[in-house]
Amino acid sequence: MTYKILPFCLLFFVQSYTQTQPWQGKFEPIDNMIAPPNSYRTASGAPGKAYWQQRADYKIQVVLDERTNTISGNETITYYNNSPDDLSYLWIQLEQNVNRKGNDDFGQFNNGLKDGITARQMQFLTRAIDFPAGYSIKYIKDSNGQAMKSMVNNTMMKVLLDAPLKSGESLTFSIGWSYPITDRSMFLLSREGYEYFPDDDNTVYLIAHWFPRMAVYNDTEGWQNQQFQRLGEFALEFGDYEVEITVPEDHLVASTGSLLNPESVLSNTQRERLERARTSFDSPVMIVTRSEAEANEKTKSKRQKTWVFKAENVRDFAFASSRKFIWDAQAVALASNTVMAMSFYPKEGLPVWQEESTKAIKNALEVYSEATFDYPYPVCISVNTSNIGMEFPMISFNGGRPKNGKMSKNARAGMIGTIIHEVGHNWFPMIVSSDERKWMWMDEGLNTFIHQRTVAERYPDFNSTTPKSIVPFMSGDKNILRPIMTTSDSEILTQFGANFYQKPTVGLQMLRHSIIGKELFDAAFKEYANRWKYKHPNPADLFRTLEDATATDLDWFFRGWFFTTDHVDMELSHVKWFKVYEAEQNIEQKKRNIQVKAGGEGKAPASNDFSNGPEVIRMNATPDNAYGGFLSRLDEEAVRQNLSGKNLYEITIKNLGGLVMPVTLEWIYTDGTSEIDRLPAEIWRKNEYVVTRTFVKTKEVKTVNLDPNFEFADTNMENNSFPKTQKESDFEKFKREAGDTNK
């Protein structure tokens, strides 16, 4: 065997070995961790030619009874089976059943007694004051009026079909139902219900996940029929809605969709103001003023009126109803359409809701549209209530309320941030319709990412999420931390905000600002949003699209950031300073001169700073046999001259936290100037734990800093600089403070 053949044999052995081992290095592909591509979902991350999804259209008539706080309705569902499968039964979501006593979800939060527990916490825990809750299903009938068989399992209802619903066919059936609307103060994670105002004996109703809705049936898991447990939200099909909402005559209704009968429910004055708002692009127009709302609070009409709304291609429908509402509206011009931004709020929201809510809607509509695609719906509504931020197509319920008309700067920022965030959910997941029941981070994380971009661009004085925000969480106890790729209801309640909102946001910020670059990343993120609008993406579709649209291998990032609980802790463990001299004959004298300058001949360079000057190195001539079979030679004299007198710095960086990241180095020179060098994450491919790199600098370096702008959520910045600072021990500090250094 000759020398030339050996490397190829060795390479073959290494390849054969690695292909047969379950190697899980940080730079290995994540193909075995995500669903494989197929004809429905391509390897590029785009929907395939065979992609399909189901559809459900609804016609609903609903009555809100304010005297009994109940809601009752009947609905007709037309369900389209676009799948290649024949279906022998259907699954219907009954989320209101989560509030029933004895429900599996009841008591899962705050489930521990303690001394000094509040009455409200005790109510959460024990339901000492009982209340009615959950659906009463009055009937399920087919299109011929014949009863259909069903079985209810907690928050899911199985509808049995006499004959399979074949692929390509549709089915129309109807359901009659009612339920008691619950007091939102009774629940820790209440997403709907009513809020009662004792001072004027009135109520604001937030009506959401209120009607039996079709569960999703898709290509990746069949029926998505996981039980609703409050934390994991919704998986829903798109469809068209025609909804008739009957409420007390003196109520105003804010709703998903376009109002079809304004002449029947609005006064002439309100209609005139609303028409004026359609061309008011600079400021909101008051449709219902404070004085009008306060007068309305006193009426308590016993008559009813019906509001009719229509919504096309939405995955859900919600509304709010109250006689307390003040109402303002403003037009927002986007590139492809004009949207009516509207806010509904009780007088308790003044003055900040009148000042800020519709403005925040406008800012969100503009930034999100620029980042993804234009908001496609005719209205975007923000409704004020307490202790909530919850989103639905075209309408959101948002907390934040002044006390005695006053609000701190932080509270105002929190209120505005909530409105932006919930409006942003119109994109994720109301249009880019990910499965919230399974992957909370896909809607909360992606939405928070653009939400924080909106805050940074439109409210620069507000605090926003940055890599620093996630450090306390990522440096926490690994025994209880969980990866981002954890299903929604499996997350620890105290951690879900950091893990499902902040950590994905910071990860996307890193990709945009420090790994891919803004221009390339923004185009890729927009590509993902447009590929999957009105469709059901999974995590693999996002990961593949970002790689496909950037030509960047990001598997190392997705593996570490999304699938592990590793953290970033890079240590700048050592920096060595060298100089190369052109003339070999004076090398020993050069060494002596440097050593004398550093403090004495024969003194070795210090290991933790630059005080002893550089080490002097000799660059020898290259022997001929080092070139192997090559006949050409380097111009070694030119190499010597180009490096003569230059400063060479050998940097050693250790990966202590487990997560590999790009490396950013800041060089601060002795003349006060500075420079930045950036190295890609791929420098860790050969060795995932320690890397050494050499840099040539004309100037002498005073300080080297790792990650100077805190781009990568490094959990320990104390080991990121050289020269290293000498930390005083606790014993030395005690002696110094005691004034006795001899003890």
Residue 1: pLDDT over 50: no
Determine the pLDDT at residue 596.
Answer: 53
pLDDT of residue 736: 47
What count of residues does the chain have? 743
In order, the DSSP letters of 38-92 are: -SSB-TTSSBPTT----EEEEEEEEEEETTTTEEEEEEEEEEE--SSS-EEEEEE
Quote the Cα angle for 624-625-629, to 5°. 95
pLDDT at 110 over 90: no
Per DSSP (E only), the strands in 645-700 are 647-655, 663-669, 674-679, 690-697
First to last CA, the chain: 70
Rounded Cα distance between 453 and 416, Å, is 14
pLDDT in tens, 363-382: 999 999 999 999 999 999 99
Output the pLDDT for position 512: 98
pLDDT above 80 for 575: yes
Q: What is the pLDDT of residues 243-252, one digit of tens each?
A: 999 999 999 9
Average of per-residue pLDDT across 129-146: 95
* Distance of alpha carbon 265 from alpha carbon 257, whole angstroms: 15
pLDDT surpasses 70 at 459: yes
Task: Write down the pLDDT at residue 16.
Answer: 41
**pLDDT value of position 590:** 58
| Contact indicator for 179, 250 with CB cutoff of 8 Å | no
At which residue do the structure tokens 């941030």 appear?
417
Average pLDDT over residues 612-641: 90
Q: What are phi and psi of 291, to 5 degrees?
A: -65, -35
Distance of CA 376 to the CA centre of its chain: 22
Question: 514: Cβ–Cβ under 8 A, 6 or more apart, which residues?
Answer: 662, 664, 711, 712
pLDDT tens for 513-555 read 999 999 999 999 999 999 999 999 999 999 999 999 999 999 9
Tokens of 608: 């933790």
What is the spatial distance between Cα 401 and Cα 406, in angstroms, rounded to a whole number?
9
Average pLDDT over residues 308-315: 98
3-state secondary structure of 527: helix
E-state strands within 249-302: 252-255, 258-259, 285-288
Lowest model confidence (mean pLDDT) among 195-204, 319-328, 346-355, 621-630: 621-630
Q: Among the residues of 602-727, which ranges form H helices?
A: 636-643
Amino acid at 732: E
pLDDT band at residue 582 using 50, 70 and 90 as cut-offs: low
147 vs 13, higher pLDDT: 147
Give the dihedral sign, CA 290/295/298/302.
negative
Q: Which tokens in the block code for residue 473?
A: 């969480």
Query: What is the average pLDDT value for the chain, to the nearest integer?
Result: 90
User: Per-residue pLDDT tens for 27-73?
Assistant: 999 999 999 999 999 999 999 999 999 999 999 999 999 999 999 99
Cβ contacts of residue 664 below 8 Å, gap of 6+? 514, 676, 677, 678, 679, 706, 707, 708, 709, 711, 712
Q: How are beta strands 379-384 and 395-398 bridged, if at all?
A: parallel
Average pLDDT over residues 169-180: 98
How many other CB atoms are found less than 10 A from the CB of residue 666?
A: 17
**Other beta carbons less than 10 A from residue 277's beta carbon:** 23
Helix H or strand E encompassing 648 = strand 647-655
- At 422, list the tokens: 């919930």
Dig out the tokens for 636 from the structure. Answer: 């070694």
For residues 491 and 495, give the distance between their C-alpha atoms in angstroms, rounded to a whole number: 7
Which residue type is seen at 603?
Answer: K
Confidence of residue 734 (pLDDT cuts 50, 70, 90): very low
Report pLDDT digits (tens) over 229-282: 888 889 999 999 999 999 999 999 999 999 999 999 999 999 999 999 999 999
pLDDT confidence tier of residue 177, bands split at 50, 70 and 90: very high
Q: What is the DSSP string of 541-594?
A: HHHHHHHHTTT---HHHHHHHHH---BB-EEEEEEEEEEE-S-GGGHHHHHHHH
Distance from C-alpha of 508 to C-alpha of 446, rounded to nearest angstrom: 8
Mean pLDDT, residues 722-739 taken together: 56
The residue with greater pLDDT, 581 or 423, is 423
Lowest mean pLDDT segment, chosen from 91-95, 237-241, 529-533, 636-640:
636-640
Spatial distance between the Cα atoms of 287 and 266, rounded to a whole number of angstroms:
10
User: Is it the case that residue 24 has pLDDT exceeding 80?
Assistant: no
Q: What Rg, from alpha-carbon coordinates, does the chain have?
A: 32
Confidence band, pLDDT 50/70/90 cuts, at residue 15:
very low
Give Cβ neighbours of residue 40 (< 8 Å, ≥ 6 apart).
47, 48, 50, 51, 52, 219
Read off the pLDDT of residues 138-171 as tens digits, 9 standing for 90 and up: 999 999 999 999 999 999 999 999 999 999 999 9
Crossing angle for the helix pair 518-532 and 352-371, to the nearest 10 degrees: 90
296 neighbors 250 (Cβ within 8 angstroms): yes
What is the DSSP-derived secondary structure letter of residue 502? Answer: I
The pLDDT assigned to 537 comes to 98
Q: Which domains does the chain have, with CATH numbers?
A: 179-541 (1.10.390.10), 570-623+631-731 (no CATH)
Look at phi and psi of residue 147 and say left if phi exceeds 0, alpha if psi is from -120 to 50, else beta.
Answer: beta
The answer for residues whose C-beta is within 8 angstroms of residue 46's C-beta and 6 or more apart is 531, 541, 545, 548
Residue type, 421: H
State the alpha helices, DSSP H only, in 404-488.
409-424, 440-458, 471-474
pLDDT at residue 232 in the model:
85
Integer Cα distance of 259 and 275 in angstroms: 13
For residue 495, what pLDDT is reported? 85
- Which pLDDT score, from 0 to 100, does residue 732 have? 46
pLDDT score, position 619:
85
Confidence band, pLDDT 50/70/90 cuts, at residue 9? very low
CA distance 568 to 411: 32
